[in-house]
Structure 1
Amino acid sequence: MNVLVIGSGGREHSMVKKLKESRLVDKLYAAPGNGGISRDAHCVSIKDGQIEELASFAKEAAIDWTIVGPENPLAAGIVDTFEKEQLQIFGPAQEAAVIEGSKDFAKGFMHDYGIPTAAYQTFTDAEKAKAYIRAQGAPIVIKADGLAAGKGVVVAETLEQALTAVDQMLIENEFGNAGSRIVVEEFLEGKEFSLMAFVNGSQVYPMIPARDHKRAHEGDRGPNTGGMGAYAPVPDLADAVVESAISDILKPAAAGMVAENRSFTGVLYAGLIETSEGPKVIEFNARMGDPETQVVLPLLENDLLQVIIDVKAGRDPRLTWKEAACIGTVVASAGYPGPYKKAKLLPALDGAEKEDCFVIHAGTKREGEQYASTGGRVLLAGSLQKSQKAAQEAVYSFLKRFDGNENFFYRRDIGFADKTDKV
């Protein structure tokens, strides 16, 4: 079959690499792709927001399946458009993608269906938000309601930080329309983990858990980012906690969306935190996580396209997983998630396979035989090994080629699971 992957980041490159292994795939396309994806698929210069153009291309290229990576085209209704044109596509419809597109909707939905999450209030008025924050005290969490590329969340450790975040979102309009409404949440402390599942209506097929590191710097310090690295499985996560997350969060969420006439088909991502009261939801996403996908898909033994076909047809894909550990560390542009420079040449990436590593490109373009940066998160170096320690050692040995390069940075503590993450 001919398969089209929508998107240009690391998540999409990981999907492309997994789909390349499929016995069902003939031609593999990506729109728009990136420098690394161009070595694994035919890249098409159509942006992920150009929905009509993407549908036209899918017809012209006789695409059998389109798989959507990022959140923005889902929120814009790409699935609805493709299905009206009788094109097979994997992802939630626009009315279901709102579970990620609006944090206010997601919080209200969780409240209505008894899904455990942090206490919250929603505001459009800055002074009312500040009064609520002063009454609650710090630490406290401020979130832009809409899509902000993983950066619209401030974990304020002081009252001053919280009040500044309100001004940035509601007055200074830092996140545009995404921040015109904010959600102010109770601060939760515990160990964070991510749990993704293939979903079709009320049918839920969980993947293995992963842990993402969202803060920019070692020790989970600094501003929130789209993710600086991840690992799977999560050694310190008890099976009972995972089972609770499936039974008390994922399954009620899928059933609740059906009850709301917003039936969800695609990958539902739950960003979770293990608290003393059990797992609670930090956020829902309407697609695979990034960078979690980059460490979960290498552990999947199944043919990814066959899984998608089965899930869409209402069949149990019977997911099976390798007895191994996978760790991935993100290399980012200096300054990220704040302002950063682009078009910086990367050191040579040859020899990853010989070092038992793989490279997933996120923000790169080809410059002859070299790559140059085009985004904040540039690439992820990963390793699949029998043990977590061996995977860590392989990744950090490979990343030495970036040491001393002032244009890039990476966290040196990804995969070290003996600490508490705070959200």
Structure 2
Amino acid sequence: MKILILGGGGREHAIGKKLLEDDPSIDLYFYPGNGGTSIIGKNIENHHTVLDLGFFSKKNTIDITIVGSEVFLLKGVVDIFQNFGLKIVGPHYLAAKLEGDRIFAKSFMRKYGIRTPKYKIFYCYEKAINFLKKNTNSIAIKTNGIAAGKGVFLTHNPNDAIEVLQNIMIKKKFGESGNQIIIEEFLKGNEASIIAFFNKKNIIPFLSAKDYKKIGENEQGLNTGGMGAIVPNPHMKNSIWIDFKKNILEPTLEGLIIEKLTFFGFIYFGLMISHNKVYLLEYNTRIGDPEAQTLFPLMKSNFLNVIQSSFQKKEIFFDWKKLCSCCVVLSSVGYPEKYESGKIITGLNSLQEPFYIAGAKREQEKWITSSGRVINIVETGNTIQEARKKAYDKVKKIQFDNLYFRKDIGL
């Protein structure tokens, strides 16, 4: 069997490792991949458009393609592959708008009664400024486009809010993603991530996760693609799960079916637990990063069989180890803004599994940093505390110039 995985980060390395664990005989292809994926499969080159990738998959008889990165989804890769008659895991373009177009997603939530924070939409900078000047409460400002996961800002006074607005709508720091914005009420509470598999009929949730999005400890500083995660999320009590299923998952499923937004793939619920109620902050239409890296070491089910069963319209379920896991992201100083790459990494060759390469490459038998997030260190244990200690013990074995990581993952 030949499987193509689209993306180049730790998530894609984790997906590939899990598939090989389930069936060592499969041939893995990655685009664009990284230094880690090149060891477990083949990174393909010179296929710069999703149409090129479709031709490659047809020519090379790829059996299944799994989309890791949202970049490909928002270019319509699923529609193109399906037109080629190819099997692909991910949403078609219109369904992917649930992630790529926050205003579209908010409209969907409102239509189907999905509990979400109160919000206002602005297309005009002056009208948004006038609203901010009258509002002294803490708020969240969001670009309409996802801006590589960095388009959400929490502000606690009008001056900070106005500065954020200028960066988005006047200075165009996030390009066209900031042409429209959402100003949302600030909810104090605990965030949770629920990733699920959608088989066109049912949404089957994974274990809960907690993602650490900010660059600084105690959730301070800029948003990143994720600096670590733990599974399960200690705040997802049984009563919260019940509330989530009733007020978010079930109406989401109803809306997806009615609106014909059905697909084989992942749906990610970004949640806020506030005053014993759960609110939906955002959808992603893919498996999360670094949640994927934290979840797969706990998955007992054969992931490849689940994917195949979904295409065969069979019932699917997931079985999990009764353990906890902790992922710590090692990054380059300066991320998520300016950072230096090309630093030699030591200690990686002796590192015990599980770990995943996010932004590193092999050059002349040496590992070299190539991106902002470099390595995902993961460990499991009977408790979060045990998994956390084991993960940070492994972190000590890795060194490179300008290494940075948060020291509070799992606390």
Give 1:384 shift: 1.8
- Alpha carbons 2:351, 2:397 under 8 Å: kept: no
Structure-1 residue corresponding to 2:368: 372
- Is 2:307 the counterpart of 1:308? yes
2:359 paired with 1:363: yes
Residues in 2 aligned to 1:387 and 1:80: alpha-carbon distance in whole angstroms: 42
Q: Tell me, yes or no, if structure 1 residue 156 matches structure 2 residue 155.
A: yes
Task: Tell me the residue number matched to 1:170.
Answer: 169
**1:14 Cα offset (Å):** 0.7
From the superposition, tell whether residues 369 and 247 of structure 1 become closer, same or farther in structure 2 (CA, over 3 Å).
farther
Kept in 1: contact 2:343–2:401 (CA 8 A): no
2:99 aligned partner: 100
Q: Give the unaligned 5+ runs of structure 1.
A: 417-423
Structure 2 CA distance for aligned equivalents of residues 46 and 143 of structure 1: 34
1:18-66 superposed Cα distances (whole Å, 9 cap, x missing partner): 011123852111111101111111111256x621111111122211001
The question of 1:22 aligning with 2:13 is answered no
Q: Deviations over 1:51-91 (max 9, x none)?
A: 11111111222110010001111111100000001011110
Partner of 1:219: 218
CA contact (8 A) 2:344 2:401 kept: no
Structure-2 residue corresponding to 1:396: 392
| Match in the other structure for 2:346 | 347
Structure 1-normalised TM-score?
Answer: 0.94
- Structure 1 match to 2:35: 35
Task: Name the structure 2 match of 1:414.
Answer: 409
Query: Is contact 1:96-1:263 (8 Å) kept?
Result: yes
TM-superposed deviation, 1:177: 0.9
Whole-Å separation in 1 of the counterparts to 2:378 and 2:252:
31
Q: Number of matched residues?
A: 411
Superimposed CA distance per residue, residues 98-139 of structure 1 (whole angstroms, 9 cap, x where no aligned partner): 000101111111111110111111112111111112223231
In structure 2, the residue matched to 1:186 is: 185
**Structure 2 residue aligned with 1:421:** none
- 1:57 match: secondary structure: helix
Cα deviation digits, residues 341-397 of structure 1 (max 9, x gap)? 1222222213222xxx52211111112222212211111111122222221111111
Deviation at 1:315, TM superposition (A): 2.4
Report the Cα distance in structure 2 between the residues aligned to 1:255 and 1:134, rounded to whole angstroms. Answer: 39
CA distances 1:268-324 after superposition (whole Å, capped 9, x unpaired): 000101111511011100100011111111111111111112223332212100011
- 2:283 alignment partner in structure 1: 284
Secondary structure of the residue aligned to 2:140 is strand
Indicate the SS of the match to 1:350: helix
- Equivalents in 2 of 1:156, 1:264: separation in Å? 36
Aligned to 2:248: 249
Computed over aligned residues only, the root mean square deviation of the Cα atoms, in angstroms, reads 1.6
State, as a whole percentage, how many aligned pairs show the same letter: 36
The 1-side partners of 2:223 and 2:137 are apart by: 17
Task: Measure the CA separation in 1 of the matches of 2:201 and 2:301.
Answer: 22
Normalising by structure 2, report the TM-score. 0.96
Deviations 1:194-252 (A, max 9, x none): 00110123411111100000111111111111110001012342022123212321221
Give, in angstroms, the shift of residue 336 of structure 1: 1.0
Q: Residue 119 of structure 2 corresponds to which residue in structure 1?
A: 120
2:13 corresponding residue in structure 1: 13
Hey, what's the Cα distance between the residues in 1 that align with 2:282 and 2:268?
8
Counterpart AA for 1:415: G
